[in-house]
Structure 1
C-alpha cells in the first residue's frame, strides 16, 4: 500500500511506531511494483522516529530475468523516517535440497503462560498474544541473551503471510534484555526479514519465535538474529536486527 499512513498511538512499540509494522507497510508498497514475484529479503533502516504519520512510496530499481529490486521509504515533512530495500524472485520449481535450522523443543502454546505487557509501554502488544517458552523474560536478569515465545495476532485466526511475518518478526522484546534487571531501551536501527519456503504452507496463526543476541559491543550495539517456525516445525523465516542500547 502506497500513500499516507496515520501513526495511531495504539500501533506504537516501545517508544515509537512499531518497527516491524512499519517495515511490513513498506513491503506492501514494494510488492505493488513487482506483481507475481516472491519476496526474498527486505531490509529497513530506521533513520528517525515517526510522529503523527508518514507517506509510503516505492519504486522499482532493477528488474532482471529472475530477480528484481525495489526501494521503499516512509517520509513526512520532517524528512525520511525509514528507507527500505527489497529483493524479489521469480517463483521456481523445487530443484535444490533445502537447509533450515531445527525448531527448539517447546510445549504447545496452550501449555505456556501468557506474557502480559503493560499497554503504556508497548501499546501494539494489545493486538497480539505472546506465550514465552522457558524461564527467560525481558529484564529477568538471566545469563543468556535469548528469548523464545509463541506469538499470534488476536484479530483473526489466519496463518501468517509475508506481511504478518515481517510484523511478528519484531514482536519480542530485544533478546539482550533477558540479561538485564533494570529498564533500558534498545531501539531498532536496521531490520532484515527473509521469508522461508515453509511460509507458503503455514496453517496455524501461532508462530514460534526465537531471538538471540549473537554479539554486542561495550558501546551498546547489538547484533540480534531471529528465527520463526510454524506449529509443524517448518521454518517460516529468519531475520536480523541491529539495535543500540540506551539508558
Structure 2
C-alpha cells in the first residue's frame, strides 16, 4: 500500500465492523480532497487485508472499480470489506469507505490465480526518449499537492494547460522514494496525470473523477522491480458536462501493466472544443 510516516492505520472505532481506519495526510491532496487513485489504492489494500484475515492466500488483483461518493479529507476514513465470491481460481470482494458517518467510496475487486493461456499484446509502449532524457514537470501544489510525492517527466511536447490540439498527455512517472511498481502504486499512477482535457486548455478547472476502473495484466504478478512507469492519458469523449478518460500504464521495460478508464464531471460545462 502506498504510505508514508504521515499515513497512519489504526483499529476500527469501538462498535464498528471489522475493517481498517486510515488518516490521509494533506500531502495526498488533489484540489479539495485526497487524490482518488490513492484512496482507491487504500480500498484495494483493505480488500486484500480482509482476504488475509479469512486465511485466504495471496492472489493477484485483476480488476478494481471505485465509485467516489464524496471528497476525502484528513478525518478518520474507515474501510469495511467483505467477500462476494470465493472460487478455486477467482475471488471477488467489495469495499465501502465511510468518513464522518457518510459513505465516501464504494468499490469492488476481482482477484484471480495465474494460469496458462494465449499471449497477446495489442498495445505496445510508445517509442519515446528514456526518462533521464525528459524534463521534469512540477504540477502546482495548490492544485495537486500529491504530485510532490512523484517524479513526472513528460515524454512528448504536450503539457497540462499548454493549449494543444490533442487531449492526450504522456509521461514517465515514479514515486519520489523510487518504490517498485505493484498494483497499488499502479492505481495511484493511473490517476496521477491531470485530466487529458488539460492538454487542450490554458486555464485549470475542476474535472473530478466519479468512477475509476483499473484492469491489471499478468505483468504485475511478479511485481516489476523498476520504479519507472510510462503513463498515457487521453480523453475519448467529452460532452454534456462529462468526460471519459482512458489511461495506459507500461513498465520501464515496455510491458503493459494496466488499463484504466475514468468517468469525470466537467464542472463548468464548457466544451473541450472551446476552452476558456
Q: Same fold (TM over 0.5)?
A: yes
The TM-score range, normalised by the shorter chain, is: over 0.9
Q: Does 1:116 align with 2:138?
A: yes
**Aligned equivalents of 2:106 and 2:81: distance in 1?**
10
Other-structure match for 2:249:
228
| Aligned counterpart for 2:69 among listed residues 47, 71, 77 | 47
* Contact 2:162 2:198 survives alignment (8 Å): yes
Secondary structure at the counterpart of residue 167 of structure 1 = helix
**Aligned equivalents of 1:60 and 1:136: distance in 2?**
43
Other-structure match for 2:173:
151
More off after superposition, 140-149 vs 57-66: 57-66
| Aligned counterpart for 2:38 among listed residues 21, 40, 47 | 21
Other-structure match for 1:140:
162
Deviation at 1:216, TM superposition (A): 1.3
Other-structure match for 1:209:
231
Q: 1:118-157, CA deviations, whole angstroms, 9 ceiling, x for partnerless residues?
A: 22221111110000111111111111000000000012x3
Secondary structure at the counterpart of residue 254 of structure 2 = coil
Deviation at 1:4, TM superposition (A): 1.3
* Contact 2:163 2:201 survives alignment (8 Å): yes
Q: 1:188-234, CA deviations, whole angstroms, 9 ceiling, x for partnerless residues?
A: 000111111222252311100000111111x2211111111112111
**Aligned equivalents of 2:218 and 2:59: distance in 1?**
14
| Count of residue correspondences | 244
**Aligned equivalents of 2:73 and 2:134: distance in 1?**
36
Structure 1 spans left out of the alignment, 5+ residues: none
Other-structure match for 1:173:
194
* Contact 2:214 2:260 survives alignment (8 Å): yes
**Aligned equivalents of 2:29 and 2:73: distance in 1?**
10
Q: 1:13-55, CA deviations, whole angstroms, 9 ceiling, x for partnerless residues?
A: 2331010000000000111215322111000000111133311
**Aligned equivalents of 2:124 and 2:194: distance in 1?**
22
* Contact 2:246 2:260 survives alignment (8 Å): yes
Normalization by structure 1: what TM-score? 0.94
* Contact 1:100 1:235 survives alignment (8 Å): no
| Aligned counterpart for 2:95 among listed residues 68, 72, 75 | 72
**Aligned equivalents of 2:122 and 2:58: distance in 1?**
25
Other-structure match for 1:96:
118
Q: Does 1:239 align with 2:260?
A: yes
* Contact 1:55 1:75 survives alignment (8 Å): yes
